[in-house]
Amino acid sequence: MNPNFLQTPIDYLKGVGPNRADLLKKELGIHTFQDLLNLYPNRYLDRTKYYKITQLQQSSAEVQVIGKITHIKTVEQKRGKRLVATFRDETGVMELVWFRGHKWIRENLKLNTPYVVFGKTNFFNGTFSMPHPEMELLKDHENSLRSAMQPVYPNTEKLSKSGITNKVINTLLQQLFAETKNNFAESLSQPILQSLKLLPKNEALLNIHFPQNTEMLARAQYRLKFEELFYIQLQLLRKNMIHKAKIKGYPFVQVGDYFNTFFSKHLPFNLTEAQKRVIKEIRADLGSNAQMNRLLQGDVGSGKTIVAFMSILLALDNGFQASLMAPTEILSVQHYNSLLELCNKLKISVSLLTGSSNASQRKEIHQNLENGELQLLIGTHALLEDKVKFKNLGLAIIDEQHRFGVAQRSKMWHKNKLPPHVLVMTATPIPRTLAMSVYGDLDISIIDELPPGRKEITTVHRYDANRLKVFRFLRDEIEKGRQVYIVYPLIQESEALDYKDLMDGYESIVRDFPQPKYQISIVHGKMKAADKDFEMDRFVRGETQIMVATTVIEVGVNVPNASVMVIESAERFGLSQLHQLRGRVGRGAEQSYCILMTSHKLSADAKTRLQTMVHTSDGFEISEVDLKLRGPGDIMGTQQSGVLNLRIADIVKDSEILKLARSYALQTLKADPKLEQPQNQSIKQTYAELVKFKNIWNYIS
């Protein structure tokens, strides 16, 4: 069959017409025959069993019965009328009932002719009745393509109201299969089909829409899930291979004075094995002729910044400039402050550029960047402005990359003749399955151990009733000279309510921790930036012992002396947020604590989140649980929620198929990078079509 046939606009399918086509496009995104073919059912009704009338039970299950209509009457009721048909089989009698559409139904019903009726039953006065049944003449039922497992398709209220019911969609698919004679081009290679004993494409498509039985349905679903994930992985892996082959980078061949002096004289602590391994991976990338595109994952406090700094030193040793971009001013200021001392020791010129930088500071930065005097620039989105021009940017580091859009990242690329090497850092552990799907085109490095001397944070869950005991514990910690965070949730929709919660909480804390013995800072979203900074600064300097805040402190505040994190209404936070907040303590040598406060009313999901937090501090384990609870879209944040717009696969439930698909995609490309071998022609053709018709790009951010 001509592959372009499936790109025919849906308007041309018999039974559609302009109005239906318009609705299908708007409501379900069905523009072509291919889109309709790829509209997979949500679930299936088992139509394999036929009941006798005497076998019917009083339950909410849908049933089907074969029988004949022997009598039809109209019954008056308080409001309007109902149409009632007497329906018999060899065992008994039931009623079919309609409350609307009487005229049309009455004209079309045939008496004493075998029908199959399907629907839910009611039981009243010793008789079963079936309101508004689905009906089909027995002879049509036996001849139709409709299968025993009845598919239920995605639908919307607008479609149903316009008469495009599940039955109509099913009929349109029957029409499509009749026009194509179920002759669909195979899209996987014979070696893959044979190795995994997969159904051929024709059989898989037929059995996903019209399954013969449950076994064939399961095999069809497996085949189509594998195919979908295989092409996403093929796309990502090819992107990576082409990137390495085509996109040249500056080779950093020198390991010179900056790196060696720092390593031998100024390293603040011994590197962990994980840090050494990651630096080795980065050095190998920087030394090759290809542009580095690497994602560095590491939990809060795992020492990513020092790895980033050593990568910067490699750039400077080779005569290049470097930049470090963070999503918030607080975080960029913190990076600047933590690296300033090290830069001074090594006589490296470094500047900070944020939205708050004044005109004269900006002018000086722009000048020194262009003439090459400024070696390292740290800042926020301000680094992306067109005015910011480097003399020779060799390495761009992006922190917490999920907060930057794709377009923003690519701006960094165009600041040079050759694109700089890119190192993306995140403290939000990304589950393996998601990393494989979303960042499959990046090389991934993971720092999976904490520096020595870091003690495990003790995490406990306490109910509001235990508040007095918790406050007593806080007083004891403050006596020891420690500091405390108390965090309140912030949920945009109810800002007034959140503010009230925060202020109520603040007042009760002031009562329990009176001045002048205790000093308290407060930080929330309604404050001016300067006031926030002033309060934060007091806490950082140790002038206040308690910081009461909304989640503005989630990223970036580093106070080694703070040893307790109290999270109020912890059930209102997501897992990754709880994990990030907990990471604000445990930064010094003292034992630290995280106390999750909740009311007694908890949902099942909230209980799972709290139990996970108490049970583990491993960010990757937490991210896997989070993925199961929330799904991929949520984890990536809203701007990336379309990242995995999958038709049939589910990367949480189908993680094993995903790993398999990736390994087969990798094998295929290693053996035949350009897909030129005869056995891979079907893959090459399918891939070209997916790229041509943009279908695959829907998946990739």
Per-residue pLDDT tens digits for 175-190:
999 998 888 999 999 9
Listed in sequence order, the residues at least 6 apart from 530 whose beta carbon sits closer than 8 Å to its beta carbon are none
Q: What's the pLDDT at 606?
A: 92
Asked whether the beta carbons of 394 and 250 are under 8 A apart, the reply is: yes
Flag the least confident range among 214-218, 253-257, 508-512. 214-218
| Residue 695, pLDDT above cutoff 50 | no
Other beta carbons less than 10 A from residue 329's beta carbon:
20
3-state secondary structure of 573: coil
Beta-strand relationship, 376-379 and 350-353: parallel
Q: What's the pLDDT at 404?
A: 54
Asked whether the beta carbons of 498 and 506 are under 8 A apart, the reply is: no
| Residue 641, pLDDT above cutoff 50 | no
Long-range contacts of 269-272 (CB under 8 A, 24+ apart): 269/451, 269/452, 269/453, 270/452, 271/303, 271/306, 272/303, 272/447, 272/449, 272/450, 272/451, 272/452
How far is Cα 116 from Cα 133, in angstroms, rounded to an integer?
Answer: 10
Amino acid at residue number 265: K
Q: What's the pLDDT at 160?
A: 83
Order of all β-strands in the sheet with 376-379: 350-353, 376-379, 321-325, 393-399, 421-426, 293-298, 443-447
Amino acid at residue number 204: A
Tell me, what DSSP letter sits at residue 450?
P
Listed in sequence order, the residues at least 6 apart from 207 whose beta carbon sits closer than 8 Å to its beta carbon are 199, 216, 217, 219, 220
Q: What is the pLDDT of residues 341-388, one digit of tens each?
A: 999 999 999 999 998 889 999 999 999 999 999 999 999 888 888 889
Listed in sequence order, the residues at least 6 apart from 577 whose beta carbon sits closer than 8 Å to its beta carbon are 551, 554
Q: What's the pLDDT at 640?
A: 38
| Residue 489, pLDDT above cutoff 50 | yes
Tell me, what DSSP letter sits at residue 616?
-
How far is Cα 131 from Cα 215, in angstroms, rounded to an integer?
Answer: 32
Tell me, what DSSP letter sits at residue 669?
H
How far is Cα 387 from Cα 355, in angstroms, rounded to an integer?
Answer: 14
442 vs 422, higher pLDDT: 422
Query: Distance between terminal CA atoms of the chain?
Result: 32
525, two tokens: 């979203």
Percent of the chain scored above 90 by pLDDT? Answer: 48
- Supply the pTM of this predicted model: 0.66
Q: Using the CB atoms, write b or e for 558-596: b if 16+ within 10 Å.
A: ebeebbbbbbbbbbbbebbbbbbbbbbbbbbebebbbbb
How far is Cα 487 from Cα 597, in angstroms, rounded to an integer?
Answer: 10
144 vs 576, higher pLDDT: 576
| Residue 147, pLDDT above cutoff 60 | no
Phi, psi of 560 (to 5 degrees): -60, -25
Burial class (CB in 10 A: 0-12, 13-18, 19+), 74: exposed
C-alpha closest to that of 227 among 700, 631, 658, 669: 658
Q: What is the pLDDT of residues 578-635, one digit of tens each?
A: 988 898 888 777 899 999 999 998 998 899 999 999 998 888 788 888 877 876 555 4
Asked whether the beta carbons of 83 and 72 are under 8 A apart, the reply is: yes
Other beta carbons less than 10 A from residue 156's beta carbon:
13
Mean pLDDT, all residues of the chain: 86
Strands (E), 380-536: 393-399, 421-426, 443-447, 458-463, 483-487, 520-523
Listed in sequence order, the residues at least 6 apart from 148 whose beta carbon sits closer than 8 Å to its beta carbon are 46, 47, 48, 211, 212, 213
3-state secondary structure of 396: strand
